[in-house]
Amino acid sequence: MHAGVWATLGPLLWACGLALQGGMLYPRESPSRERKELDGLWSFRADFSENRHQGFEQQWYRTPLRESGPTLDMPVPSSFNDVGQDRQLRNFVGWVWYEREVTLPQRWTQDLGTRVVLRIGSAHYYAIVWVNGVHVAEHEGGHLPFEADISKLVQSGPLSSCRITIAINNTLTPHTLPPGTILHKTDPNMYPKGYFVQNTNFDFFNYAGLHRPVLVYTTPTTYIDDITVTTGVDQDTGLVDYQIFVQGNEYFQLEVFLLDQEGKVVAQGTGGRGQLQVPNAHLWWPYLMHEHPAYLYSLEVRLTAQTAAGAVSDFYTLPVGIRTVAVTEHQFLINGKPFYFHGVNKHEDADIRGKGFDWPLLLKDFSLLRWLGANAFRTSHYPYAEEVMQLCDRYGIVVIDESPGVGIVLVESYGNESLQHHLEVMEELVRRDKNHPAVVMWSVANEPASFLKPAGYYFKTVIAHTKALDPSRPVTFVTNSNYEADLGAPYVDVICVNSYYSWYHDYGHLEVIQLQLATEFENWHRTYQKPIIQSEYGAAAIAGFHQDPPVMFSEEYQKAVLEQYHLALDQRRKDYVVGELVWNFADFMTNQSPQRVIGNKKGIFTRQRQPKAAAFLLRERYWKLANETMYHQSAMKSRCLENSPFNF
Ligand code: BDP
């Protein structure tokens, strides 16, 4: 087979005039692949110079960082902001420098048949990477992985260790995603010379640093670069369409095996693309929708090629869930059955580590989701770590996968430069997450100023591009506009709408919620004939504040707002409302303002993941909803009884 044939996203991307270089398969160990994690302590320095450019002027990447000035120890993964006691570092805007020495196994540096790749899970926001002082990568965007092939560098001579330097800039501009602006304050009576602040239009703290795992991994020099899997169902037969892209050699053989959870081969094929048929397939069902949710097969891909040095093999195993997704005027269907989203919006956010990836925190969050009876969440307002998506696949938690397109409210952010970047980000997101069965819809943005004139063309283009990249999933963006003013709504598959009745207006007036919400639902559905998700609603409560009758910021008020929403949702959910996602799963950090009390307190859990009264209310509701929407009632009963707070 000829490797020049693009077997993955390639043709579509070329057709659209854009193309990412290569795939972004999650680095998994296999008989042909090894990994070395670089998590732990790195050396760190923020460039506090006036123009924030001293690091480049003095070329801090050329020699060990400790030689150009004092350094701090900085944990990776973590945001740098909340680790120390320095207020200036917490609020720092500009370049920070990370460095780590790493000793690579001798074989990696001596075997020319080994390809050595440096992979950065995320670096917020703009990153430049050097290895031993040599520039190897640059990446824009704080929430998606990027890589550099460093084989040549580490294999070019005797090497005892290699030095990785990463400069990261958290500055946001009108053309970044999310956008932001730098405001220079020039009044000498009020601000010192050169004073500036970063302004943003989103409601979470702009944490920065190396937020996700950094690692070095290997593949052979002829390697499986990308795999795309889409699935279908024909009666009882599961259909798995695969496309495999190989790099490094023109001539090779590919074999694929689909294994069930017992390790039995249920289908096999050869070549770079094909369809596997699985008789009596176990479908991937969401949590609480089936007695065996989240069934995952393993797709084992085996590559063999002849090189001058002899035969080469590469192996990669991809988890695969067989399921279908479809949208009608009234319904969201998974495996042909109506699916009702009852879940949450989240943030990657916690004490001290900020947006830093943390396994214990992640497992705690998933155990709370399951306790709650939540079957879905939205990755508000940016792509989450790959490990999060993997757990969603494993536990059957359905995901609306959102881009970092949050706070797009300035007219400057609707020009061509922003649009091109948004298209690229959607490419990176689809490339990374396309194979996750848990992902059932893409969200290209949250609450953009979609009433501005250029927003119509902008969202039409971003949505069309996303659909071309992945025709297998619906696309949306999340709005808080009025239905008449929304220029993006004609292009989405599902209307996702946020509202804060009796919170941001009609303060304290719980009695207006039902009427206002019912009117809104009617208007949207009459105008667009599309299913609707209440993609955000909620109220702030400071844990431990109690008032009865309910008063804003008390736990009772938060609960009462939710109850009123639920009454209106119940009137429409059997009709065209297909989901409800509370804002928010947990309290989270924001910028400082008189509207925020050490962050946003709309969590149903505290930032430390302890329940407020609203969590118990939602738990009761979600388990009831699950009970109503189960499709295999008798089989489900016994399973749900184990966890449910109710007797069915
Ligand atoms: C919504 C935003 C969300 C905010 C929330 C709030 O989408 O990011 O945190 O409001 O104000 O409009 O709590």
For residue 160, is pLDDT > 80?
no
Same structural domain, 350 and 276: no
Neighbours of 267 (CB within 10 A): 22
Q: List, for residues 452-507, the tens digit of each pLDDT value.
A: 999 999 999 999 999 999 999 999 999 998 999 999 999 999 999 999 999 999 99
> What pLDDT does 645 receive?
43
User: pLDDT at residue 633 above 60?
Assistant: no
Give the chain's domain count.
3
The protein residue with its alpha carbon nearest to ligand 1, atom 2, reads 203
Write the CATH number for 569: 3.20.20.80
159 and 225 together in one domain: no
Mean model confidence pLDDT for the chain: 94
d(CA 361, CA 377): 16
The two beta strands, 532-536 and 495-498, are: parallel
| 338 and 312 belong to one structural domain | no
Same domain, 350 and 305: no
Closest C-alpha among 294, 432, 311, 463 to residue 366: 294
By the 8 A CB rule, do 221 and 113 touch?
yes
Whether residue 332 has pLDDT greater than 50: yes
Q: Are 524 and 480 in contact (CB under 8 A)?
A: no
Q: Does residue 347 have its Cβ closer than 6 Å to ligand 1?
A: no
pLDDT in tens, 64-94: 999 999 999 999 999 999 999 999 999 999 9
**C-beta of residue 213 within 8 angstroms of C-beta of residue 26:** no
pLDDT value of position 19: 65
Q: What is the pLDDT of residue 631?
A: 57
Section 436-446 average pLDDT = 98
In this predicted structure, what is the pLDDT of residue 648?
29
User: Token pair of 521, please?
Assistant: 């639902």
Tell me the percentage of the chain whose pLDDT exceeds 70.
Answer: 94
Is-contact 81 15, C-beta < 8 A?
no
Taking 80 as the threshold, does the pLDDT of residue 400 lie above it?
yes
Mutate to test the pocket of ligand 1, among 201, 202, 203, 601 (most ligand atoms within 8 A of CB): 203
- Cβ proximity of 429 and 24 under 8 Å: no
Is residue 355 situated within a structural domain? yes
Separation of CA 536 and ligand 1 centre (Å): 8
One-letter-per-residue 3-state SS of 172-201: CCCCCCCCEEEEECCCCCCCCCCCEEEEEC
Assess if residue 178 is contained within a domain: no
Q: Are residues 367 and 331 in the same domain?
A: yes
Among 285, 320, 355, the domain boundary falls at 320
Report d(CA 360, CA 363) in Å as an integer. Answer: 5
Mark whether 571 and 426 lie in a shared domain.
yes
Q: Tell me: the pLDDT tens digits for 563-622?
A: 999 999 999 999 999 999 999 999 999 999 999 999 999 999 999 999 999 999 999 999
Q: Is 203 in the pocket of ligand 1 (CB under 6 A)?
A: yes
Is residue 600 lining ligand 1, measured as CB closer than 6 Å?
yes
Among 198, 218, 238, the domain-final residue is 218
CB-ligand 1 contact for 558 (6 Å cutoff) = no
623 three-class SS: helix
Asked, for residue 626, whether it belongs to a domain, the answer is yes
Query: Which entry of 447, 536, 555, 580 is annotated as an active-site residue?
Result: 447
Specify the ligand 1 atom closest to the Cα of 538.
13
Residue 457 domain-assigned?
Answer: yes
- Residues 381, 472 within the same domain: yes
Q: How confident is the model over 372-390, as a mean pLDDT?
A: 98
pLDDT, tens only, 297-330: 999 999 999 988 889 999 999 999 999 999 999 9
Pocket lining: 447 vs ligand 1, CB cutoff 6 Å? yes
State both tokens at 512.
């207006």
Q: What is the pTM of this model?
A: 0.95
Do residues 359 and 300 both lie within one domain?
Answer: no
Secondary structure of 32-101 in HEC code, one letter for each residue: CECEEECCEEEEEEECCCCCCCHHHHCCCCCCCHHHHCCCEEEEECCCCCCCCCCHHHHCCCCEEEEEEE
- 370 plus 454 within the same structural domain: yes
The contacts of residue 218 (CB under 8 Å, 6+ apart) are: 33, 34, 35, 108, 114, 115, 116, 117
In this structure, are strands 114-120 and 398-402 parallel, antiparallel, or unpaired? unpaired
DSSP annotation of 354 reads: B
**Following DSSP, what letter does each residue of 409-464 receive, concatenated?**
-SGGGGSHHHHHHHHHHHHHHHHHHTT-TTEEEEEEEES--TTSTTHHHHHHHHHH
Q: What residue numbers bound the domain in which 338 lies?
A: 325-635
- What is the pLDDT, as a whole number, of residue 601? 98
Is 379 in the same domain as 477?
A: yes
Q: Is the CB of 583 under 6 A from ligand 1?
A: yes
Nearest CA to ligand 1 atom 5: 203
Asked whether residue 624 falls in the same domain as residue 516, the answer is: yes
User: What pLDDT, on the 0 to 100 scale, is given for residue 362?
Assistant: 98
Atom 3 (ligand 1): residue with closest C-alpha?
A: 203
Contact 69, 45 (CB under 8 A): yes
| Residue 612 forms part of a structural domain | yes
CB of 402 sitting under 6 A from ligand 1: no
Determine, yes or no, domain membership for 3.
no
Indicate if 352 and 488 belong to the same structural domain: yes
For 218-246, what is the mean pLDDT?
A: 98
532, 497 in Cβ contact below 8 A? yes
Residue 16 placed within a domain: no
Q: Is 163 helix (H, G, I), strand (E, B) or coil?
A: strand
Q: 628: CA distance to ligand 1 center in Å?
A: 30
Q: What is the pLDDT of residues 8-51, one digit of tens each?
A: 334 344 344 456 878 999 999 999 999 999 999 999 999 999 99
Q: What pLDDT shows up at residue 307?
A: 85
CA angle at residue 316 from 313 to 322, to 5 degrees? 140
Question: What is the CATH classification number for the domain harbouring 245?
Answer: 2.60.40.10
Average confidence (pLDDT) over 514-540: 97
Last residue of a domain, one of 293, 320, 347: 320
Does residue 602's CB lie within 6 angstroms of at least one atom of ligand 1?
yes
Q: How far, in Å, are 129, 168, 370 from residue 118 at the CA level?
A: 10, 16, 35
Question: 2 in a domain, yes or no?
Answer: no
Q: What is the dihedral of CA 428, 432, 435, 438, to 10 degrees?
A: -100
Residue whose CA lies nearest to ligand 1 atom number 11 = 203
Q: 4, 412 in Cβ contact below 8 A?
A: no
Q: What is the pLDDT of residue 197?
A: 96
User: What is the distance between the alpha carbons of residues 500 and 249, in angstroms, rounded to a whole number?
Assistant: 56
CATH of the domain at 94: 2.60.120.260
* 44 CA to centre of ligand 1 in angstroms: 33
Active-site residue, 447 included: yes
Residue 567: φ, ψ to 5°: -65, -45
**Does residue 3 have a pLDDT over 90?**
no
Q: How many helices (H) and strands (E) does the chain have?
A: 13, 32
How far is the C-alpha of 335 from the C-alpha of 286, rounded, in Å?
A: 10
Q: How far is CA 341 from CA 8, 325, 346, 543, 549, in A?
A: 31, 13, 14, 26, 31
